[in-house]
Amino acid sequence: MDGRAASQTVTDKLQYLEQSGIEVVVISATMGRQDSKVEHHQLLPWGPSGLRFDFRHLMAKRFGKGAIYRLTTVLVSLLLLPFIVVERLGFGLTHHSSWSLPAARKGIALAKQSEFELVYSSGGAWSAHLAAAWIKAATGLKWIAEIHDPMIIRDDADDDGTRARRSRSDRFAQRLETRICNEADHVWWFTEAAHDYALLRNPGLREKGFVVHPGAEAPEVTAPSTRGETLDICHFGSLTDDRSLAPILVALQSLVRRFPVMQQQLRLHLYGTNLDANSRQVNDDAHVASMIIEHGRLEHDPVTGLSGRARVTQKMFEADVLLLLHGDYEWCAEYIPSKYYEYLWARRPLMALTNRNPQFDQLLSARNVYLAGTLNPASIEQVLIDVWKDWAHDQLHIPAGDPVSVESAVTQILAVVRR
């Protein structure tokens, strides 16, 4: 899926695995494009809520989100509603859980046809790991698991994730984490904190768990950065109520009262998303609203032939400052946004709002990044002033050090698995 982190994490590794003499067969959901270079099986989930979810994505991809999308998705939702109610009452798991069934079935069938050496689950959605567990149980193949985000979402700093979760789906994810740690031959996480919390819950992980910084692939295209009449701060990726632009907007409300000229000199550009609900409430301030430009999602351009991902990369290179939002939830302690690794390749000044993650703060500070705390309004105001003043004097900080490559991540994984 063009531009989606979970997809890029797999797709970008393929060439390096192939160069290492490894043949990969991919089993995925249906929302992205079918890969033309590797054997790629795209499967629909078997549950009604999963079918509804995939159908919405497929219709949006083909027709956009206009009248056809709204009409067909409403009709399909009505048709599936009784079955979704039964599914939720009977199982109560997330919509993607039923994808494990066709994925495991396909994986077992493929293993009977060819001599595979291992199954590699990557997610993201824990349904991939559940399917891999079933494939290992049925075939005896070795199993390696790559866990992108913490499977157990902690509520606060005192919650280590060991107590029973509230929902059935979260309790199931808790049991599945234990199964992964017990049955997989190797498991890795993308941050030290996520690995450490998993190790605390599963001491047997000590011999086979490790950490990989996933990195990002070098950009397909580059673009020159030219100084314009306004300071262009650009955010790429999704916004949600708990990873919101609101802290920035609140700070700008205060700053434009103190420095009225900032309203004319600073612009916030949003690519790939619209304002979240919390930001829209703050955006009622007309002074701040005039500073925000929403560009929406950049898709494949048939005129230039550039993919959506390449067009996004171009805009990153053209930005005065790249904005990285971490979020305001507890599990930020176990999470580094994948966009961080992409931003490093653009070599543009980077402003980050982080939360509860000393490891991430150290990484950013070492790279000379403009840094503030998501829950610290004074620090956000100060860092915006610093960025604005440095821009005015043409002295914006370029991040230090080299980018983190996908090739280095693959090299690390292969070294551990082969050993």
Same domain, 46 and 104: yes
If one counts the domains in the chain, the total is: 2
pLDDT of 395 reads: 96
Structure tokens at 310: 């390449």
Whether residue 124 has a cis bond before it, omega within 30° of 0 = yes
Instruction: Note whether 220 and 307 are within 8 A (CB).
Output: yes
Cα-to-chain-centroid distance, residue 282: 25
Residue 54 sits in which domain range?
Answer: 5-215+409-418
Instruction: Note whether 129 and 147 are within 8 A (CB).
Output: yes
288-311 residue pLDDT tens:
889 999 998 888 888 888 888 888
Question: Within 10 Å of residue 62's Cβ, how many Cβ atoms?
Answer: 9
β-sheet with 209-211: strand ranges across: 118-123, 142-147, 186-189, 209-211
In a domain, 397, yes or no: no
Same domain, 211 and 346: no
Q: Which residue has the tokens 């929403």?
A: 294
In a domain, 59, yes or no: yes
pLDDT confidence tier of residue 90, bands split at 50, 70 and 90: confident
170-213 residue pLDDT tens:
999 999 999 999 999 999 999 999 999 999 999 989 999 999 99
pLDDT at 3 over 70: no
Q: How many residues appear in the chain?
A: 419
Q: How far apart are CA 404 and CA 410, in angstroms?
A: 12
Q: What is the pTM of this model?
A: 0.90
pLDDT of 370 reads: 98
Burial 171-208 (b: 16+ CB within 10 A, else e): ebbbebbbebbeebebbbbbbbbbbebbeebbeebeeb
CATH of residue 108: 3.40.50
Same domain, 176 and 304: no
Question: Within 10 Å of residue 34's Cβ, how many Cβ atoms?
Answer: 11
pLDDT confidence tier of residue 285, bands split at 50, 70 and 90: low
Same domain, 194 and 313: no
Same domain, 197 and 149: yes
In a domain, 328, yes or no: yes
Same domain, 199 and 240: no
In a domain, 171, yes or no: yes
Mean predicted confidence (pLDDT) in 242-249: 94
pLDDT of 98 reads: 96
